[in-house]
Amino acid sequence: MLYFENDYSEGAHEKVLARLVETNMEQLSGYGMDPYSESAKEKIRRACDCPEADIYFLAGGTQTNQCVISSMLNPYEGVIAAESGHIGTHEAGAIENSGHKVITLPQENGKLSAETLADYLSSFYGDENHEHMVYPGMVYISHPTEYGTLYTKGELAELSDVCSEYGIPLYLDGARLGYGIAAKETDVTLPDVAEYCDVFYIGGTKVGALCGEAVVFTKENTPLHFVTRIKQRGALLAKGRLTGIQFDALFTEGLYFEISRNAIKTADRLKDIFREKGYEFYLDSPTNQIFIVLENSQMERLREKVIFSFWEKKDDTHTVVRFATSWATKMEDVENLAALL
C-alpha cells in the first residue's frame, strides 16, 4: 500500500528522535524550564531574525490556535478568518468553546485578501449598530492555507497594514509553515513572517516532530501570564523537554528547512506525473498538498493500492481527492505511484 494520506503518518525525523534518546535520562526541570527549550527558543529567534521574539511550545495545532486566539482576544471580540479557515471548519468549535466567534469572510484559493478584510472592517465600523455586534479583534490566516496555497510577501504586507490601521493583531497558523517556506515559487521567508505577523506558530507535528508547535510573539506582545493561560487550558506539558528538545533538533543546522524541502521535491515530482498523465488539478498548489479530480470508478480502483484523502464531491461522477507528501516521503514511493497511474 502506498501512503499519501497526510503529512503526519510517520513518527519523528530520525535526528529529532535521536536527540530525545540521547537526552532521555537527564534530569530536567519541568514545564519548559529546561535548557533545551531555552536553546530551541534562541535558535528560533535567530532563524526568524527576531531577537525580541517570545516563544512557547505547545503540543498541537488546535490547542495552539485556541490558546493564542482566546488569550489575545477581548471577551467582546471575535477572530476573522477566511471561510475555509481551519479554525472555522475542522477544529470542532474550539474557538467558540473558548467564547469567541469566528467571523468568516470570503476566500479565494483559501486566501483572505487585504481588500476583503479592509471592506469588512470599514463596513463594521460604519454600521451604527456595531455595539450589538461581535468586534473584530484579530485576523487569522494560515500559510500554507487549507488548500496548500501561499500568500506573497506583498499580500502579507498588505494584510499587516490593514491590521495595523485597525489596531488588531495578524496571526498566522503555520501548521505547515516549513512547506510554505520551502516552496519554489514563494518570496516569503521566516523573517518575513516574523516581520508581518504579530504572532504565528511554526508547526512541528506535520514537519518532522512527534508533536509540537512553536508559538512566536514577535512584537513584545505576549499576553500577560501566558503560561498560566496555557495551564488553564490543559496545554502545559509537565515534560516540556518533549517539545523543547524536538524543536532544538529541528532548528539545528537548518534541519527544519531541509526536511521541508523533501516534501516539496516529492510533491513537485508527483505534480509533474499527474500533469504528464493528463489528470485534472482541482487547484494549483505550490506546496505539499495536491488536489486532483478523479472520476469515481478510477478513484475506487486507485484506493485499492494507494491511501489518499477524500476532499469533497465534485459532481455525481467525480471527486476531489488530496495527495500529500511530507518530510518523510520517499521518492521511490512517488515513482511507484507513477507506475500505478
Between residue 165 and residue 224, which ones bind a copy of itself under the rule CB under 8 A? 205-206, 210-211, 224
Q: Which of residues 69-88 bind a copy of itself (CB under 8 A)?
A: 70-71, 74-76, 78
**Shortest distance (Å) from residue 311 CB to a copy of itself:** 10
Range 243-262, binding a copy of itself (CB under 8 A): none
Q: Is the CB of 63 or the CB of 289 nearer to a copy of itself? A: 63
Q: Which of 39, 42, 134, 195 binds a copy of itself (CB under 8 A)?
A: 134
- Quick one: 204 exposed, middle or buried, by C-beta within 10 A (0-12, 13-18, 19+)? buried
CB of 252 to a copy of itself, least distance (A): 18
Site string for a copy of itself, 288-327 (x = CB under 8 A): ----------------------x-----------------
Query: Taking CB under 8 A as the rule, does residue 336 contact a copy of itself?
Result: no
Residue 160: how many CB atoms within 10 A of its CB? 18
Grid cell in block for residue 37:
527549550
What is the rounded end-to-end Cα distance, in angstroms, of the chain?
A: 14
Residue 106 binds a copy of itself (CB under 8 A): no
Closest CB to a copy of itself among residues 45, 86: 86
Residue 20 or 283 having the CB closest to a copy of itself: 20
Shortest distance, position 217 Cβ to a copy of itself, whole Å: 16
Among 233, 303, 314, 318, binds a copy of itself (CB under 8 A): 233
Nearer to a copy of itself, 196 or 327 (CB): 327
Residue closer to a copy of itself, measured from CB, 19 or 41: 19
Question: Over the chain, what HEC string results?
Answer: CEECCCCCCCCCCHHHHHHHHHCCCCCCCCCCCCHHHHHHHHHHHHHHCCCCCEEEEECCHHHHHHHHHHHHCCCCEEEEEECCCHHHHCCCCHHHHCCCCEEEECCECCECCHHHHHHHHHHHHHCCCHHHCCEEEEEEEECCCCCCCCCCHHHHHHHHHHHHHHCCCEEEEECCHHHHHHCCCCCCCHHHHHHHCCEEEEECCCCCCCCCEEEEECCCCCCCCHHHHHHHCCCCCCCCHHHHHHHHHHCCCCHHHHHHHHHHHHHHHHHHHHHHCCCEECCCCCCCEEEEEEEHHHHHHHHCCEECEEEEEEECCEEEEEEECCCCCCHHHHHHHHHHC
Residues 20-49 close enough to bind a copy of itself by CB under 8 A? 20-21, 23-30
Single out the residue of 122, 164, 221, 232 in contact with a copy of itself (rule: CB under 8 A). Answer: 232
In angstroms, what is the minimal distance from the CB of 165 to a copy of itself? 19
Q: Which is nearer to a copy of itself, 6 or 109 (CB)?
A: 6
Backbone φ and ψ for 106, nearest 5 degrees, come out as -60, 145
| Span near a copy of itself by CB under 8 A; candidates 239-247, 248-256, 275-283, 294-302 | 239-247
C-alpha to C-alpha distance for 49 and 53, rounded to whole angstroms:
9
Task: CB nearer to a copy of itself: give 4 or 151.
Answer: 4
Nearer to a copy of itself, 50 or 259 (CB): 259
Number of residues near a copy of itself (by CB under 8 A): 77
Determine which residue in the list 15, 17, 153, 341 makes contact with a copy of itself, applying CB under 8 A.
17
| Strand 170-174, strand 199-203: pairing | parallel
Which one of the spans 38-46, 93-101, 144-152, 297-305 is the region binding a copy of itself (CB under 8 A)? 93-101
